Amino acid sequence: MARVLASTLLFCSLLLLFDPSFSSPLCIDSVAPYTLNTTLKFCPYNGSTCCNSTEDLQLQKQFQAMKISDPSCASIMTSILCARCDPFSAELFTVDSTPRPVPVLCNSTVSANSSQSRQAANNFCSSVWDTCQNVSFLNSPFAPSLKGQAGLPSNSNISKLTEYWQSKTDFCNAFGGASMDGSVCFDGQPVTLNNTGTPSAPHGLCLEKIVNGSYLNMVAHPDGSNRAFFANQQGKIWLATIPDQGVGGTMHLDESNPFVDLTDEVYLDTQFGMMGIAFHPNFAQNGRFFASFNCDKVKWPGCTGRCSCNSDVNCDPSQLKPENGAQPCQYQTVIAEYTVNGTSSPPLATSAKPTEVRRIFTMGLPFTSHHGGQILFGPADGYLYLMTGDGGGTGDPYNFAQNKKSLLGKIMRLDVNNIPSTEEINQLGLWGNYSIPKDNPYKEDTQLQPEIWAYGLRNPWRCSFDSERPSYFMCADVGQDRYEEVNMITKDGNYGWRVYEGPLPYIPPESPGGNTSSSSISPILPVMGYSHSDVNKKEGSASITGGYFYRSMTDPCMYGRYLYADLYATALWAGTENPENSGNFTSSEIPFSCASDSPIQCSSVPGTSLAALGYIYSFGEDNRKDVFILASSGVYRVVRSSRCNYNCSKENVTPVGSPGPVPSPAKSPASQLTNPFNNFVLLFSSLLLLLLGFVQ
């Protein structure tokens, strides 16, 4: 029986490895679509597209080399080549995991109840044949898949469609497909999916306060239990037990008994402290965990590292002006590894020694702000992601965020499972004890430092992976003067700072480190965000705090929406993607209040029913997918909306303490489109359960 269970777990793990949701479902090259502020010069795409200006030029050259003499056929072939820029090109050019030289062309195979307009669109394959069948052109994209078949020319680069197919029917059988709810096809225009309109925003978010105290980080225990780790800015980590929903309990957290105390190493100030914690995916077996914090080399001998202002990035530390009495790189960003060594079963450990096992990363900071510092393990790849700010200074004066040799203003991706030798570290010029994942983008972009996964960020403050779609990696990035943004992070993505602040062009007040021109980059613009003028700011400022896709069924009306907030607790937003898996979001500000039966009573904004949270430092998610708000006044959990008298038609109201099942929201056509693999997983899961039943 144990052998069968092990085989079952291994098989399920392999299934997850091949789940297509682990890669972007939108573009052929597994990156999310670019958001362009201008139309491409050759291909008629703007807004969300899978091509940048370089790829657009390559398609133009490919078209010109075909030398198509007939104008009508040339127009059709232009649209077919440009379909690679379509936001759904991964679906158009891939069928059953097999890449295609041309997109799936809509043909006349339609359902009986299809409309006349839809039938007309679905005759595109016929139009291609009728228009181009007798036109000769070079290097036909229709030819490669059929070369070598009997009776077909194999050496000539000049061809007509009629040289390969006897009839329109044969041609459309090879390259056509129907536009049904579970698939897409190309009709000469950008793909659009059936859309019932943008879902209405929730009426409000209901919270309960479960503990007092101020915490900056929350990480669910890797053992899958109802426990979680909480850390404060000072440098202490606690292990807490979270009460069940609806029982009226508070969170058990003993302030006097931390899991580990790192305050001797952590330098604490307004902009400094413990910035992140992460527990190894195999913590249950190896007991490894990691802390990201700032240190002061004047106060702690262990605070030693290379300065991020150096000759490699055209920065001279001696030219930096001291800030608040601090010298350049006096303060450092550190990632250190710890362990619950001495414990035979790490999940049972209730404490750890504050002794470093290994220094993973150390980097000196040029200024006293914009450090980022969050760390996360990627759920699909197991690598450690580190988010860094641009190092400080108004407008990123040294242009660190755009400098591909600098590690400031970046998202890094590190392998902490394969530790190189000291000789290898020195040879590769690494900043600590880690190795470089082989698929990091530096191999495609040789200008990048090998650690870099994405760049062009000002100060990423709270990133998360969607627990249902790990390819959705969301990061909030704090703005300078005008705009706060949420970005969907992809490999080798450039998010624009300091050329752009969100979607807005930015002109820095000074540039001792040089400039990057807007024409030289293809920035990925934010998918959500808000202008400073849109919020009622306290202390004359605004600062975004990133959150999570809500995946709990506690509040079914919030399911699938991305929650984020402003640090100053003036507003919460819910971002809704429509259609699902499209990368297109709309955001709505939502009211939030505290349940009258909250285990710990909440303060209210005078004259309103809104909860007064203080500052919203961070969000958290537990193993049940419930979402938490970590604020200066305490920890709050999202609860059933009916407890605050918010109306949610999807909520099944049952007695307190008996949440009861709530049906999952219906999946959109786009979800079915990009996740046919889910049905395969469900089928095999059922077969495996049946097998286990026979074994028992």
At residue 334, the pLDDT reads 98
How crowded is the C-beta side of 240, counted as CA atoms within 13 Å? 30
Across the chain, mean pLDDT equals 84
Q: Determine the Cα–Cα distance for residues 537 and 515; give it in Å rounded to an integer.
A: 31
**What pLDDT is attached to residue 97?**
64
pLDDT at 415 over 90: yes
Give the model confidence (pLDDT) of 29-83 as tens digits: 766 677 777 788 899 887 778 888 889 999 999 999 999 989 889 999 999 999 9
pLDDT at 68: 92
pLDDT of residue 50: 87
User: Do 464 and 449 touch, CB atoms closer than 8 A?
Assistant: no
Q: Considering only residues 335 and 87, tell me which one the structure prediction assigns the higher pLDDT.
A: 335
Question: What was the pLDDT predicted at 617?
Answer: 97
Cβ burial of 108 (10 Å; 0-12, 13-18, 19+) is middle
pLDDT at residue 604, rounded to an integer: 85
Quote the pLDDT of residue 405.
97
The answer on 422 and 319 residing in a single domain is yes
Domain boundary among 116, 151, 177: 177
pTM of the model: 0.71
Q: Are residues 30 and 159 in the same domain?
A: yes
Report DSSP state, residue 310: S
**Measuring CA to CA, which residue among 496, 448, 470, 442 is closest to residue 383?**
470
Banded pLDDT at 408 (limits 50, 70, 90) = very high
Same domain, residue pair 11 and 82: no
Query: 333 is in which domain, residue-wise?
Result: 261-458+479-524
Per-residue pLDDT for 8 more than 50? no
pLDDT for 193 equals 56
Considering the domain architecture, whether residues 380 and 516 belong to the same structural domain is answered as yes
Report residue 196 as tokens: 């019932």
In a domain, 376, yes or no: yes
Q: List 158's β-bridge partners, or say none.
A: 138
Residues 21 and 33 in one domain: no
Q: Are 227 and 346 in contact (CB under 8 A)?
A: no
Of 17-21, 74-78, 204-208, the least confident: 17-21
Residue 483 reports pLDDT greater than 80: yes
Can you state the angle between helices 53-66 and 71-82, rounded to 10 degrees? 150
Lookup: tokens for 138? 């070079």
Query: How much is the average pLDDT of 133-159?
Result: 64
How many angstroms separate the CA atoms of 463 and 441, rounded?
Answer: 20
Let me know if residue 428 belongs to a domain. yes
**pLDDT band, very low/low/confident/very high, at 663 (cuts 50, 70, 90):** very low
* pLDDT category of residue 192 using cuts at 50, 70 and 90: low
What is the CB neighbour count within 10 angstroms for residue 309?
Answer: 26
- 16 and 75 part of one domain: no
For residues 44 and 130, state if they share a domain.
yes
d(Cα 236, Cα 265) in Å, to the nearest integer? Answer: 11
User: Distance (Å, rounded) from C-alpha 664 to C-alpha 650?
Assistant: 9
Q: Per the domain annotation, does 445 fall within a domain?
A: yes
Of 232-236, 288-292, 312-316, give the lowest mean pLDDT range.
Answer: 312-316
Residue 329 has pLDDT above 50, yes or no: yes
Domain boundary among 496, 524, 552: 524
Which pLDDT score, from 0 to 100, does residue 585 have?
96
103 shares a domain with 39: yes
Domain count, the chain: 3
Name which of 353, 164, 122, 329 is nearest 258 in CA terms: 353
The pLDDT of 297-315, averaged and rounded, is: 95
Could you tell me if 82 and 137 lie in one domain? Answer: yes
Model confidence at 177, pLDDT cuts 50, 70, 90, reads confident
Is 502 within the bounds of a domain?
Answer: yes
* Whole-number percent of the chain with pLDDT over 90: 60
In the predicted model, is pLDDT for residue 629 greater than 90?
yes
Instruction: Write down the pLDDT at residue 258.
Output: 97
Looking at residue 41, its amino acid is K
Residue 204 lies in a domain: no
Whether residue 88 is predicted with pLDDT greater than 90 in this model: the reply is no
Of 159, 13, 137, the closest CA to residue 64 belongs to 137
Does residue 565 lie in a domain region?
A: no
Of 127, 156, 177, which one is at a domain's C-terminal end?
A: 177
Q: Which pLDDT value is given to residue 540?
A: 55
User: Are 450 and 349 part of one and the same domain?
Assistant: yes
Q: 446 with 363, same domain? A: yes
The predicted structure's pLDDT at residue 535: 79
- Tally Cβ neighbours within 10 Å of residue 649: 7
Residue 581 resides in a domain: no
pLDDT band at residue 301 under the 50/70/90 scheme:
very high
Report whether pLDDT(4) > 60: no
Query: Confidence class of residue 421 from pLDDT cuts 50, 70 and 90?
Result: very high
Tokens describing residue 131: 């228009």
Which residue type, as a one-letter code, is found at position 550? Answer: Y
Alpha helices of 26-52 — where are they, by DSSP H?
none
Note whether 291 and 439 are same-domain residues. Answer: yes
- pLDDT > 70 in the chain, percent: 81
Q: What does the pLDDT read at residue 687?
A: 43
Residues 6+ apart with CB under 8 A from 59: 42, 43, 51, 81, 82, 84, 85
Question: Which position has the higher pLDDT, 216 or 663?
Answer: 216
Is 243 within a domain? no
DSSP string, 99-165: E-SSPPEE-S---TT--HHHHHHTTHHHHHHHHHTT--EES-TTSGGGTTSTTS-SS-SEE-GGGT-
User: CA separation (Å) from 311 to 5, 314, 316, 458, 513?
Assistant: 56, 5, 7, 22, 11
Task: State the greatest distance between any 2 C-alpha atoms of the chain, in Å, as a whole number.
Answer: 83
pLDDT at position 149 is 38
Range from 88-92, 238-242, 316-320, 647-651 that averages highest in pLDDT:
238-242
Spatial distance between the Cα atoms of 401 and 397, rounded to a whole number of angstroms: 10
